[in-house]
Amino acid sequence: MNLPKTPFFSVFKPGYLAFVAFGLFLDLTSKYIIITKMLAHESIPVLGDFFRLSLTFNTGFVFGLFQDNALPSLFATGFAIVFLIFYRWQNADLGNAWGWNFVMAGAFGNFSDKFFVKIPGVGFRFGFSPEKPGIEYIGVVDFLDFEWPDFLLFDRWPAFNVADSCVSIGIVILLLTMDWKELDKK
């Protein structure tokens, strides 16, 4: 495999990397605060039932793959990040750079979270399996919990976090800014 000809730091500019680092910091800090202040599966109404803080743990990967199995989920996420970095590097002109920055911030946030066992009300420790099931948890911390119209697939939107929000915002920016005709020529 050949590396792209474009210099790495012309695509991943220092300001962009600082933004990704800030997004990672914001995500992990918000998760830490939630872990230390809440109990597992606790919900706190913020705007009534419309918006709650609900501490949950997503133990899988995209679309629920590898549920309750930390290492395959970790490797799949790591592979996805490496793929995204090389894809972005190879296709530097595809989409808006800030869309990519949001996606990367979110990807790194959820990836980093998978390296820790969470202990609600206490904090976390490095590891991939709980020593005390029911007291310690693996998986990505999700806590933003919104109501969803009852006539759709489920009563509430699945809880999410800052990293998930970054990925979603980034994807929307990319979808709105990509030149799809140019992509078809490649």
Contact, 159 vs 54, CB < 8 A?
yes
Q: Average of pLDDT values for 105-115?
A: 96
Given the residues 27, 113, 145, 164, the one annotated as active site: 164
pLDDT of 67 over the 90 cut: no
pLDDT digit string, tens, across residues 20-39? 999 999 999 999 999 999 99
pLDDT of 82 over the 90 cut: yes
Active site residue 142: yes
Q: Average of pLDDT values for 158-168?
A: 94
Answer whether residue 5 is part of any domain. no
Answer whether residue 44 is part of any domain. yes
Q: What is the pLDDT of residue 80?
A: 92
Q: What is the pLDDT of residue 71?
A: 81
Active site residue 164: yes
Contact, 28 vs 123, CB < 8 A?
no
Answer whether residue 61 is part of any domain. yes
Given the residues 27, 113, 142, 145, the one annotated as active site: 142
pLDDT digit string, tens, across residues 128-158? 889 998 999 999 999 999 988 776 677 788 8
Residue 104 banded pLDDT, cuts 50, 70, 90: very high
Answer whether residue 3 is part of any domain. no
Q: What is the pLDDT of residue 182?
A: 58
Q: What is the pLDDT of residue 59?
A: 84
Number of domains comprising the chain: 1
Q: Average of pLDDT values for 83-111?
A: 94
**Nearest Cα to 26, choosing from 34, 38, 14?**
34
Residue 179 banded pLDDT, cuts 50, 70, 90: confident
Answer whether residue 2 is part of any domain. no
Q: What is the pLDDT of residue 32?
A: 97
Answer whether residue 4 is part of any domain. no
Residue 1 banded pLDDT, cuts 50, 70, 90: low
Answer whether residue 66 is part of any domain. yes
Q: What is the pLDDT of residue 3?
A: 82
Cβ-Cβ contacts under 8 Å for 96 (sequence gap 6 or more): 173, 174, 176, 177
Answer whether residue 39 is part of any domain. yes
d(CA 20, CA 59): 23
Contact, 139 vs 54, CB < 8 A?
no
Domain membership of residue 77 as a residue range:
13-184
Between 124 and 179, the more confident residue is 124
